[in-house]
């Protein structure tokens, strides 16, 4: 049973009724909660506590002593406690209950509990007894909602407006207000993105998500409380409290976990988190069907503020994000390569249910003009769904080398066809130079070079610094070295961490022992420069340098025990390598 | 017995009672409910899309079993209106399960709508919250005397057969509209009390009942 059989306008009308019903329902839930709180109070006042010793002869409600001959009390049918004459409520001349049992009865009647019980007898196998059909329909619609059911083109503005204003003044759910909300939200974030730093924006998004999670778990807990209070078995107060506590914990748990997942999937407030999520998105690109569509981008450079401004205008005809459900909530992510850290990542807002999203959002990088020549703009389009993995839709790489920012004609937007995910291996980029000194030393100090080549010695690599490094400058760095010997044997070394100040001389020493010069000739030395972010344990590969080939090693062979200096090109591939 | 309330948006009421009107298309369910809640008549026929509901707050005075008039309660009525059209049937019948009482309506000027009462009864039996829910049979459009096709006797017999009250109403004049709804409300309120008190009235610990029934009587003499 769902609403998919109805025509769009009919469905709209029914949904409007269901939302009206929801308002009434929440009012009713509030009322029931109040009733139950009152009941709890009454119960607490009249409860015999376990710690105190009560004589048999006290009223269970007012705790006044009962007489042996008069005011002896009588056992209440509901709770089996002995009750004095005053704590009774007579329903008929003879039929009575104690005050608490009567209150239970009242709540059961007034809360509609009786109805659920009766229905439970007829439909014992239904799982959600308390859930009304309206609630169910609304939920299932919201689940499927806006994806397969809602027509891709919204009904004309005027129709919707008429519909929602003519009926009872509940506009919360109509597509008109939804799209208005979206509009306002995207407008706000748009403004902020320009004016504020990125972290501020992220924080804003976070609060939005928090709110949503809270309201959701709140409504769930409402129903939880009504199921928790089943009155016919005369539950004890402690039971009620226990259940109350339980669901409180559950809600707080679900709340925090919900918020966490939100943060993980859509936010990058911390550097670690940001890179995590981008690794995740990168990982999910496998096996996707042919990429379609185009993206409209305009680039401009503001010489006043030294900012690269990227206007993500729109996409058209992009493919659906989900494999099974044909849905698409696209957003655009931008990196200024070669920097693939979270600091370089910018994102647009997510558009709902469209393969022709219009973003009109400007993203900015603060970067010196002369550094742009070595950069590449990496623009990718992703499908984002709450609590699900991101799905790659397409990307485009725009090398900024030779881009004439000075020429105003380059500022107009252009359509770029989206490409499938590029294989990073092919697109190596030089990000800087790694300065190293290498020395081969032999403990026996023989001068005969021929015999030296077959004797085991040690190779010392001293990393002294980097030059012309693009990307982040702060933080600390370390080097991982691996020497691959002809037999396939790999010797690995890791240097200590050093503060990564560009001008400072480093002395990161790696020592590979028990190698012969003969072996070295056919060996490959890989030096990976890693970035370690401050206050975090996350590591990021900045680039890899290689020392290989006979000419390099020959110098060592000819002059052992002497430092030989090399400037090795540090390369990074667009594909991130994991630590 | 009742009077209309003023504010509807607060939770200041004692009971939420959900009633539902059902019957063939065009028998006048929507206009009937409109007459009841707003005391107005709309002669235009606007077919109901799927479902709808109206609300009204009334004051209900319970007649306590010993004959004296008892307490008064504020009752918030949620009156579900359903589409009579066949194509909405699966949707409307799904809503039967949430209603506490039913206004089963037919058109006094349409024999067919009366014949279909039988079908609606079986629909109710299948989908309502229990096997014998509270129902009031309502023959509407009583003002159109010259077009009448269903005789009062006929309808009364059917209602008796089911053991439910029967009313001939007119949404146009308002005749018997209030009375039929309040009768249904009364039935539901009584059912509610029964349901809650049933377990002890049946005496699931029957031994204790007789013993304890005597106890309070004895107590009274003791002037506690």
Residues A45-63: tens digit of each pLDDT = 665 554 455 556 778 778 7
pLDDT at A178 exceeding the cut of 70? no
Number of A–B residue contacts, CB under 8 Å: 112
Contacts with B65 from chain A: Cβ below 8 Å: 91-92
Residue A562: name the closest of A437, A439, A435 by CA: A439
Interface residue B52 vs chain A (CB under 8 A): yes
**Residue B215, SS3 per DSSP:** helix
Task: Tell me the mean pLDDT in the region A423-435.
Answer: 63
**Separation CA A82–CA A246 (nearest Å):** 31
Query: Dihedral of the CA atoms B46, B51, B54, B59 (nearest 10)?
Result: 130
Average pLDDT, chain A: 69
More confident site: A66 or A251: A66
The reported pLDDT for the residue numbered B55 is 94
Minimum distance, in Å, between the CA of residue A277 and any CA atom of chain B = 43
Looking at chain B from residue 195 to 224, which residues have their Cβ under 8 Å from any Cβ of chain A?
Answer: 195-197, 199-200, 205, 208-209, 212-213, 215-217, 219, 222-224
Give me the phi and psi of A361, to 5 degrees please: -120, 140
pLDDT of residue A239: 41
From the list A403, A427, A210, the residue with the least C-alpha distance to A297 is: A403
Is B197 in Cβ contact with A75 (below 8 Å)?
A: no
pLDDT < 70 positions in chain B: 1-9, 64-69, 198-224
Residues of B in contact with A117 (CB under 8 A): 195
pTM for the model stands at 0.46
Nearest CB neighbour to B49, from listed A10, A91, A232: A10
Q: What is the DSSP letter of B87?
A: G
Shortest CA gap B148–chain A (Å):
33
Question: Nearest Cβ partner of A110 from B15, B95, B217?
Answer: B15
Percent of chain A residues topping a pLDDT of 70: 61
pLDDT of residue A54: 54
Residue B118 tokens, joined: 């039988």
- Residue B220, Cβ density class (10 Å: 0-12 exposed, 13-18 middle, ≥19 buried): exposed
CB contact under 8 A, A34 and B11: yes
Q: What is the pLDDT of residue A431?
A: 73
User: Which residues of chain B does A28 touch, with a Cβ-Cβ cutoff of 8 Å?
Assistant: 11, 16
pLDDT value at residue B199: 56
Closest Cβ opposite residue B11 in set A27, A94, A105:
A27
* pLDDT (0 to 100) of residue A154: 42
Strand partners, A331: A382
- The predicted-structure confidence for A98-147, as pLDDT tens digits, reads as follows 888 888 888 888 888 899 888 988 888 776 667 888 888 888 877 665 44
Assign B78 to helix, strand or coil: strand
CB contact under 8 A, A119 and B10: no
Average pLDDT over residues A308-313: 88
Locate A186 and state its tokens.
Answer: 């995207």
Taking an 8 Å cut-off on Cβ atoms, the answer to whether A85 and B100 are in contact is no
Which tokens in the block code for residue B97?
């399960």
DSSP 8-state code for residue A92:
S
Name the residue among A187, A185, A219 with its Cα closest to residue A205.
A185
Are A459 and A438 contacting, i.e. CB atoms less than 8 angstroms apart?
yes
SS3 B69: strand
Dihedral through CA A227, CA A228, CA A229, CA A233, nearest 10? Answer: 100
Chain A residue numbers with beta carbons less than 8 Å from the beta carbon of B90 are 1, 5
Pick among B10, B38, B65, B91 to test the A interface (most A CBs inside 10 A) = B91
Rounded average pLDDT over A458-466? 84
**Placement of tokens 């014998």 in the chain:** B132
Instruction: Tell me the shortest Cα–Cα distance from A197 to chain B, in angstroms.
Output: 44
**Stretch A288-310: mean pLDDT, rounded?**
81
- Three-state SS for A51? coil
What average pLDDT does range A557-571 have in this prediction? 80
Name chain B contacts of A94, Cβ cutoff 8 Å: 213, 216-217
**Average pLDDT for residues A363-367, to the nearest whole number?**
86
Q: Do A108 and B196 touch (CB under 8 A)?
A: yes
- Among A186-190, A298-302, B144-148, B218-222, the range with the most confident prediction by mean pLDDT is B144-148
Q: How many CB atoms lie within 10 A of CB B97?
A: 17
Structure tokens at A197: 């730093």
Question: Which residues from A are below 8 Å from B83, CB to CB?
Answer: none
- Pick from A41, A36, A97: nearest CA to A224: A36
Q: Greater confidence, A383 or A184?
A: A383
If one compares A392 and A453, the residue with the highest pLDDT of the two is A392
Task: Tell me: pLDDT of A291 over 50.
Answer: yes
Amino acid A272: pLDDT: 35
Encode pLDDT of A492-504 as tens digits: 888 877 776 655 5
Taking 60 as the threshold, does the pLDDT of residue A184 lie above it? Answer: no
Instruction: Return the higher-pLDDT residue of B126 and A149.
Output: B126
Q: What is the pLDDT of residue A97?
A: 83
- Mean pLDDT for A366-379 is 82
């Amino acid at each position: 049973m769902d609403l998919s059989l109805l025509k769009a306008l009919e469905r709209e009308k029914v949904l409007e009724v269901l939302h009206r019903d929801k308002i009434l329902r929440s009012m009713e839930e509030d009322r029931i909660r109040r009733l139950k709180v009152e009941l709890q109070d009454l119960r607490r006042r009249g409860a015999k506590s376990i710690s105190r010793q009560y004589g048999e002869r006290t009223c269970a409600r007012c705790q006044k002593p009962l007489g042996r001959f008069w005011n002896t009390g009588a056992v209440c049918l509901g709770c089996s406690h002995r009750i004095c004459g005053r704590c009774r409520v007579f329903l008929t001349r003879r039929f009575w209950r104690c005050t608490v049992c009567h209150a239970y009865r009242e709540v059961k009647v007034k809360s509609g509990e009786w109805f659920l019980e009766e229905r439970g007898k007829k439909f014992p196998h239904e799982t959600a007894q308390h859930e009304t059909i309206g609630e169910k329909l609304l939920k299932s619609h919201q689940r499927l909602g806006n994806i397969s059911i809602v027509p891709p083109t919204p009904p004309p503005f005027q129709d919707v407006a008429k519909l929602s204003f003519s009926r009872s003044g509940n506009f919360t759910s109509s597509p008109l207000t939804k799209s208005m909300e979206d509009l306002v939200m995207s407008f706000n974030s748009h403004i902020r993105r320009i004016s504020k730093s990125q972290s501020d924006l992220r924080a804003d998004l976070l609060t939005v998500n928090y709110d949503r999670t809270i309201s959701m778990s709140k409504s769930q807990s409402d129903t939880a409380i009504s199921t928790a209070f089943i009155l016919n078995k005369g539950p004890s107060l402690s039971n009620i409290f226990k259940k109350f506590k339980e669901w409180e914990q559950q809600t707080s748990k679900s709340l925090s976990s919900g918020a966490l997942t939100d943060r993980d999937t859509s936010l990058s407030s911390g550097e670690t988190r940001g890179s995590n999520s981008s690794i995740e998105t990168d990982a999910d690109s496998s096996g996707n069907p042919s990429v379609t569509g185009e993206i409209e981008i305009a680039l401009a450079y503001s010489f006043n503020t030294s900012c690269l401004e990227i206007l993500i205008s729109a996409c058209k005809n992009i493919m659906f994000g989900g494999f099974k459900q044909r849905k698409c909530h696209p957003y655009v992510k931008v990196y200024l390569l070669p920097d693939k850290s979270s600091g370089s990542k910018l994102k647009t807002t997510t558009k709902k249910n469209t393969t022709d999203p219009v973003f009109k959002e400007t993203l900015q990088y603060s970067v010196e003009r002369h550094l742009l020549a070595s950069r590449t703009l990496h623009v990718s389009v992703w499908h984002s769904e709450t609590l699900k993995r991101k799905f790659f839709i397409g990307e485009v790489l725009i090398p900024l080398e030779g881009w004439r920012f000075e020429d105003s004609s380059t500022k107009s937007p252009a359509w770029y066809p989206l490409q499938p995910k590029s294989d990073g291996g092919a697109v190596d980029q030089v990000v800087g130079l790694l300065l190293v000194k290498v020395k081969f030393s032999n403990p026996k100090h023989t001068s005969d070079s021929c015999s030296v080549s077959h004797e085991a010695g040690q190779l010392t690599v001293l990393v002294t610094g980097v030059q012309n490094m693009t990307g982040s400058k702060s933080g600390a760095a370390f080097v991982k070295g691996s020497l691959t010997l002809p037999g396939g044997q790999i010797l690995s070394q890791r240097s200590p961490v050093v503060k990564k100040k560009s001008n400072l001389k480093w002395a990161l020493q790696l020592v590979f022992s028990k190698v012969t010069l003969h072996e070295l000739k056919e060996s490959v030395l890989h030096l990976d420069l890693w970035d370690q972010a401050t206050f975090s344990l996350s590591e990021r590969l900045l680039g890899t340098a290689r020392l290989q080939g006979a000419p390099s090693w020959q110098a060592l062979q000819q002059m052992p025990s002497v430092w030989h200096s090399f400037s090795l090109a540090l390369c990074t591939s667009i594909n991130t390598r994991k630590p | 017995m009742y009077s209309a309330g003023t504010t509807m948006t607060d939770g200041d009421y004692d009971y939420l009672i959900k009633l539902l009107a059902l019957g063939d298309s065009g028998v006048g369910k929507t206009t009937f409910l409109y007459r009841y809640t707003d005391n107005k008549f709309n002669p235009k026929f606007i077919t109901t899309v799927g479902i709808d509901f109206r609300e009204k707050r009334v004051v209900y005075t319970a007649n306590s079993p010993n004959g004296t008039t008892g307490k008064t309660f504020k009752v918030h009525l949620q009156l579900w209106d359903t589409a009579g059209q066949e194509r909405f049937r699966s949707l409307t019948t799904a809503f039967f399960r949430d209603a506490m009482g039913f206004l089963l309506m037919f058109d006094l000027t349409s024999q067919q709508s009366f014949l279909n009462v039988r079908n609606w009864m079986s629909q109710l039996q299948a989908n309502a919250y229990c096997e014998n829910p509270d129902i009031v049979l309502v023959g509407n459009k009583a003002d159109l005397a010259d077009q009448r096709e269903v005789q009062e006797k006929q309808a009364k017999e059917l209602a008796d057969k089911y053991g439910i009250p029967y009313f001939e109403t007119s949404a146009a004049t308002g005749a018997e509209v209030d009375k039929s709804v309040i009768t249904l409300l009364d039935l539901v309120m009584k059912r509610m009390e029964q349901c809650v008190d049933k377990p002890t009235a049946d005496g699931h610990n029957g031994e204790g009942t007789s013993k304890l029934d005597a106890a309070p009587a004895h107590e009274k003499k003791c002037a506690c």
